Amino acid sequence: MNTNVKNIEKKLLSDNWYTLNKYSFDYQKSDGVWERQEREAYDRGNGSTILLYNHSKGSVILTRQFRLPTFVNGNADGMLIETCAGLLDEDNAEDCIKKEAEEETGYRVDKVKKIFEAYMSPGSVTEKLYFFVAEYSDAMKVSSGGGLEHEQENIEVLELDFNDAYAMISSGEIIDGKTIMLLQYAKLNQLFSSDKDA
């Protein structure tokens, strides 16, 4: 427990979609002085994301869908290329991402590897993301994917050459944080290098 924080008060501002709360609290600065601070925090739960990769084909599975927040903040068509992801809801992180991978991409993966956890926007959003990687094969494809209609998902599944996908970071075609992190993980850990285990 952080002893520099006390007297926390929480006020609900909105629960229309998830929950937006206003917090008031006393914070002790480095000079020992206590000051009253206020912050707002949006709570949508935690989530999982995964990079599906095929070592022999040198490919990855990504998705493309419309993301309204990016559209209203300068993304011209609102479309975003991403790794598969979803909120945990009542699932643990591993079960969640296996389910999301099948719903969104059509691939049923049973072996996934957790690589790290990260807060993606800690200044205002409580969400923590659990990051996974998993190998996929053509034999694992059980449907066309695309997400769930009742959740108003309209997801395009993309199978891309890894090098092409990685180059899309520099070109600005991939601007999603979690996707950049997973593609960089693949590059740094040589998921597509024949000598990665040497």
Q: Which residues are annotated as a binding site for Mg(2+)?
A: 85, 100, 104, 153
Select from 100, 128, 107 the least CA-distant residue to 116: 128
Interhelix angle 162-171/177-188, rounded to 10 degrees, is 130
Binding residues: 85, 100, 104, 153
DSSP 102-122: HHHHSB-----EEEEEEES-T
Phi-psi region of 39 (alpha: psi -120 to 50; beta: other; left: phi over 0): beta
DSSP conformation class of 125: B
